[in-house]
């Protein structure tokens, strides 16, 4: 199997170059702003997860990443974003279809490896699942009320 082949960890959501597909990313400022305005938050030591479930529940989860200059210089910020993308791929089972996720990197990840990031995300899994279920419940209630009107 070639190095660029799709691995079982990624669930087929990457391009042969290793990138997340455009459908798996939040790309526009308006998409980030919509998530930030309506999102539920889960906070860990190094990350803030903003979770939002818009109306498109049939599509794959989408990821957006924010790393400010507090994280470090450009090299440190880019490394942090690479780690977040890889952790997102490694934890695909956590994210519900239709979820928009913005990950804000709060602190430097200079000493962290991918396993450390994934471990921190897995330790936040109960809070993430609770939050996603409450979002899904609120979303389904809103759709049911909209159908009756």
Domain residue ranges in the chain: 21-138
CATH number for region 21-138:
3.30.230.10
Q: Give the pLDDT confidence of 60-101 residue by residue, as tens digits.
A: 899 999 999 999 999 999 999 999 999 999 999 999 888 999
Q: Find tokens 């804000």 and name the residue.
A: 104
The dihedrals phi and psi of 101, each to the nearest 5 degrees, come to -125, 125
Q: Give the pLDDT confidence of 7-30 residue by residue, as tens digits.
A: 434 444 554 456 778 888 888 999
Could you count the other beta carbons within 10 Å of the beta carbon of residue 80?
A: 25
Nearest to 107 by CA among 65, 81, 71: 71
Identify whether the C-beta of residue 88 lies closer than 8 Å to the C-beta of residue 99: no
Three-state DSSP state, 148? helix
- State the pTM of this model: 0.79
Which regions of 6-117 does DSSP assign to beta strands (E)? 40-43, 47-52, 62-67, 100-105
Identify whether the C-beta of residue 114 lies closer than 8 Å to the C-beta of residue 90: yes
Nearest to 136 by CA among 87, 80, 104, 98: 98
Identify whether the C-beta of residue 34 lies closer than 8 Å to the C-beta of residue 54: yes
Q: How is residue 110 written in tokens?
A: 């200079």
Please, what is the Cα angle at 84 between 70 and 13, to 5 degrees? 150
């Amino acid at each position: 199997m070639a190095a660029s082949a799709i691995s079982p960890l990624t669930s087929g959501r990457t391009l042969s170059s290793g990138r997340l597909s455009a459908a798996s990313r939040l790309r526009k400022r308006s998409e980030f702003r919509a998530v930030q305005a309506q999102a539920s938050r889960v906070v860990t030591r190094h990350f803030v997860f903003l979770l939002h479930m818009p109306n498109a529940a049939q599509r794959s989860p989408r990821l957006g990443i924010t790393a400010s200059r507090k994280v470090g210089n450009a090299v440190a910020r880019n490394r942090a974003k690479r780690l977040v993308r890889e952790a997102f791929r490694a934890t695909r089972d956590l994210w519900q279809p239709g979820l928009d996720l913005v990950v804000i990197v709060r602190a430097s990840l200079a000493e962290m490896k991918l396993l450390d990031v994934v471990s921190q995300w897995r330790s936040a899994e109960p809070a993430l699942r609770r939050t996603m279920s409450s979002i899904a419940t609120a979303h389904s209630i809103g759709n049911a009320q909209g159908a009756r009107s």
